[in-house]
Structure 1
Amino acid sequence: MELESLYDQLGSSTFSVTESPLVWTQNHPASCMTLSQAWVQYLQGKTWKDKHRKNVEQMFLNIQLFLRDQPVDSYRQTDIIEALSSIAKLPQRNRKPYSEMPLQDMIDLYVPEELRISDKTVKEHLKIMIGLFSEYLVKEVKVLVTSPTEGVTFKSAVKRFGSFSDSEVSEILDGAKEKPEWFYWFAMMGAYTGARRSEIAGLMKSDFDVCRDTGRAYFRIKEGKTLSSVRIVPLGRELLDSGFMEYLSSVEQERVFDTAYRSPNRVTDLFGSLVPSAKDMYGDRLVFHSLRHTFITKARMAGLSTSLVQQYVGHSLTGGGVTDRYTHRFTVGSLVSVCDVISYRVL
């Protein structure tokens, strides 16, 4: 029943707190035990597999970053809430450039919402804190009588991205012409390929090539969060007609969008200045990632095969049952049908 109650708390409506005084026993000098010391003792009784242990220890580093290494009797519910709120703003560490940054540099770093850790991961952090404070320090070793996690709950926020109309995309791209040249082509790539921002930012000149069968230029996504993310992406006719290959030839460094790669916030700021509203008429958020939603929506509205669209944008094949196992990568010649239907020219 206690376990069920804890899971109900994890799925409740919001971060919240029910204040209650924290009490520790006289027989256990909690003030002499720091958070890190308690964590070491807590781990001694765990028989987790190596992969799970590594994930948990990484999450504890995030917890310790914001809770600091203080005596365990000094924490209050408000400290837990503030730590979780900060953890929810951390980036996905498997994405560059965040994977190359020290954890300490994350404290005051602004991370775009679409690049932050998932709500599920935030819940897992809370679960770890409940295990340490409530299950171990209160119930097992009885260092504390009341856990600072008691009364703390978290609700997964629905983070739905909106999409743009053709005229809105056209206005954004026109406005991008007044920004740095690299950003204009960065926005063009987002609008005409539907690629994720991190995928575009990571592109190297060597990732681009020309298909010998069709003569169509394309680029390779060599890594991603799933196997389906690794793919080839042909460039659409409208993007090519705009002069993208000429721009690519003019780039001197190997990384095509070096500024976007090193400073993700620069893309956020520049794109935000071109979008008049933070949300669309349905209340969905309008950010750079909305270009991807717009691309996918337009491709599906054109009546294209779902499998083609899924492979082009890097989604896992779904809806074909066992047939999906036998469906291999589509050729560049097949995939151009996806990108060539994308047009934002308002007639």
Structure 2
Amino acid sequence: MFLPVLQTVPQTGTPKIPYTFQRNGVYYLRVRIPKIIQENTNLPPIMRQSLQTKSSRIAITLVNKFINHLNDMRISLMAKSIQMNFASVMTFHDNGKPQSLTKYDSGNNKSDAENAIKHSVELEKLNIQHRVTDELVKLEEGGMRLSEAIEAYKDWKQKDTKKGKAKGLSDKAAKARYINFEILLLALGDKDIEAISGADIQSVISVLENMPIRNIKPYCDNKDLSVWVSAAKTREIPEDDLVSSKTVKEAFKDYQSLFSTFLTKTKFLLKSAPTAGLKVDFESQSYACFSNQQMKDVVDFWAKKEDSDYKWIILLGAYTGARRGDIFNLKLSSVRFDAACNRHYLFIEGGKTKAARRKVPIHNKLIAMGFLDFVTRLSTNRDLEQKLFKSFKTSHYITSKFRICLDSLSIPKINDELRRYSFHSLRHAVITEMASCNDYQLFQRVVGHKITKLGVSKIYTSEFKLEDYLPVIDCLDW
């Protein structure tokens, strides 16, 4: 054969694929590199390379492309070598004999003619062997299916590394991200990847834009994704319940990663990606800022409620400006006392950014409302490293329930500038009020923003003290 197969490890129970062996079910390529290619490249005498797949169909596809590329390279290099030795280009009959003999530069016609015939025979052998190789690793009919490509992509993504560190997704993050691929499969069916077009991807984007937010009722009650994909195709979901444009854009990024980065640029299984040239418009609907009167209405509404996790989550948001996740992740031990300034404070260990780690004084109004008494009752006979608020499984429930509160206060969903009111609007209102009354760096530190415009002299001084933050919090009067 043109490219000799090395002895391979038996592939028990799976299709035998030339030029491969298996380890733990994963296919590996092993092939001897022709000498002429070794001389013109940096390839080793024997190529061993993991194909990073357990799928025989994918392995055959990869081997086929590699062997054909190797054959093309050898033909090109041999033709170049022969052409360099001939004084002019030599042509051949179909039987492999020279149609016209070309003189070599040696001046000995008889010797040159014999060498030319030898070269013609070698070229004919080369062509025959190349055709045999094509049939030997012929791609299975139908090509790679979308489901197989997605599974191969998942394996590749988990093994992907960056700067020596694993870049694979955690199980939880992967599950959330791979739902986009489930939608892709449900919308298109298990098609041959080469049959997927840009129009197909656009149709999937249309489905995504009409998908519901699946962590709210009634959509969270039915986990069957196919039900909501079918509903999205017929546009049955109310506009208020549709996913954001940001969610659609994130899904499209996943599709670009699959088709462009993985299938086209990494595995060379596609000549061009169906996502090429497509664009998803992303319009971030920014948050509205509550007015002072609206803040007073929200505070009065919850101050009258009986003690509950949700009551104190809202009131903490109104008097600290902390992010939803910062409050959700507070522990019992996060409520502390600073004897130097005689004030209780919240210690936020971390959050969205590095600047999220900070101390936030507890507003005197919160203490007067009974927040410290609430914490004391919860702390009795409990591990202080447990969460302060245990009624919510995820922080997303905070946002959905807050909307109910706003409806009862007749606060609209959006303001005149088409910005929406949500739990994050508390943070906007707090920051707006703090910025109007305090030193810029101080309020940045309290709300967990990266400190900007910090003078050189301040870098060499100690951290801000808790008492420095008191005026920042105490200016909030609602």
Superposition TM-score, scaled by structure 2 size: 0.52
Deviations 1:7-36 (A, max 9, x none): xxxxxxxxxxxxxxxxxxx96642457114
Matched, 1:334 2:463: no
2:257 corresponds, among 105, 128, 135, to 128
CA 1:163–1:328 in structure 2 vs 1: closer, same or farther (change >3 Å)?
Answer: farther
Q: Work out the CA distance in 1 between the residues paired with 2:172 and 2:293.
A: 45
Match of 1:225 in 2: 352
Matched, 1:273 2:404: yes
Matched, 1:77 2:201: yes
Match of 2:88 in 1: none
Displacement after TM superposition at 1:203 (Å): 1.3
Deviations 1:155-213 (A, max 9, x none): 33234211111111111222335656322221110000111111111112211111111
Match of 1:300 in 2: 435
Deviations 1:124-174 (A, max 9, x none): 43441322344457xx334xx664324531233234211111111111222
Q: Work out the CA distance in 1 between the residues paired with 2:366 and 2:337.
A: 15
CA 1:59–1:72 in structure 2 vs 1: closer, same or farther (change >3 Å)?
Answer: farther
Give 3-state SS (helix, strand or coil) of 2:391's partner.
helix
CA contact (8 A) 2:312 2:371 kept: yes
Displacement after TM superposition at 1:329 (Å): 2.5
Q: Work out the CA distance in 2 between the residues paired with 1:194 and 1:339.
A: 9
1:148 corresponds, among 260, 263, 274, to 274
CA 1:120–1:36 in structure 2 vs 1: closer, same or farther (change >3 Å)?
Answer: closer
Amino acid at match of 2:293: S
Equivalent pairs: percent with the same residue? Answer: 22
Amino acid at match of 1:141: L
Q: Which has the higher contact order (CA 8 A, sep 6+)?
A: 1
Matched, 1:185 2:312: yes
1:239 corresponds, among 366, 377, 400, to 366
Q: Work out the CA distance in 2 between the residues paired with 1:44 and 1:251.
A: 41
CA contact (8 A) 2:158 2:167 kept: no
Q: Work out the CA distance in 1 between the residues paired with 2:155 and 2:374.
A: 58
Match of 1:317 in 2: 451
CA contact (8 A) 1:87 1:122 kept: no
Matched, 1:66 2:156: no
Matched, 1:202 2:334: no
Structure 2: gaps spanning 5 or more residues = 1-137, 216-222, 229-240
CA 1:306–1:202 in structure 2 vs 1: closer, same or farther (change >3 Å)?
Answer: same
Q: Work out the CA distance in 1 between the residues paired with 2:363 and 2:287.
A: 24
Displacement after TM superposition at 1:258 (Å): 1.2
Displacement after TM superposition at 1:117 (Å): 7.9
Matched, 1:282 2:417: yes
CA 1:306–1:132 in structure 2 vs 1: closer, same or farther (change >3 Å)?
Answer: same
CA contact (8 A) 1:236 1:339 kept: yes
After superposing the two structures, state which structure 1 stretch, 150-159 or 193-202, moved more: 150-159
1:258 corresponds, among 364, 386, 390, to 390
Displacement after TM superposition at 1:226 (Å): 1.9
Q: Work out the CA distance in 1 between the residues paired with 2:329 and 2:170.
A: 29
CA 1:134–1:332 in structure 2 vs 1: closer, same or farther (change >3 Å)?
Answer: same
After superposing the two structures, state which structure 1 stretch, 247-256 or 82-91, moved more: 82-91
Amino acid at match of 1:241: A
CA 1:179–1:300 in structure 2 vs 1: closer, same or farther (change >3 Å)?
Answer: same
Amino acid at match of 2:261: G
CA 1:117–1:257 in structure 2 vs 1: closer, same or farther (change >3 Å)?
Answer: farther
CA contact (8 A) 2:360 2:446 kept: yes
Q: Which has the larger radius of gyration?
A: 2
After superposing the two structures, state which structure 1 stretch, 314-323 or 288-297, moved more: 314-323
Matched, 1:173 2:287: no
User: What is the aligned-residue RMSD (CA, Å)?
Assistant: 4.2
CA contact (8 A) 2:180 2:254 kept: no
Give 3-state SS (helix, strand or coil) of 1:170's partner.
helix
CA 1:120–1:308 in structure 2 vs 1: closer, same or farther (change >3 Å)?
Answer: farther
Superposition TM-score, scaled by structure 1 size: 0.69
CA 1:63–1:340 in structure 2 vs 1: closer, same or farther (change >3 Å)?
Answer: closer
Deviations 1:224-265 (A, max 9, x none): 2222111111112222222221222232564322113x2434
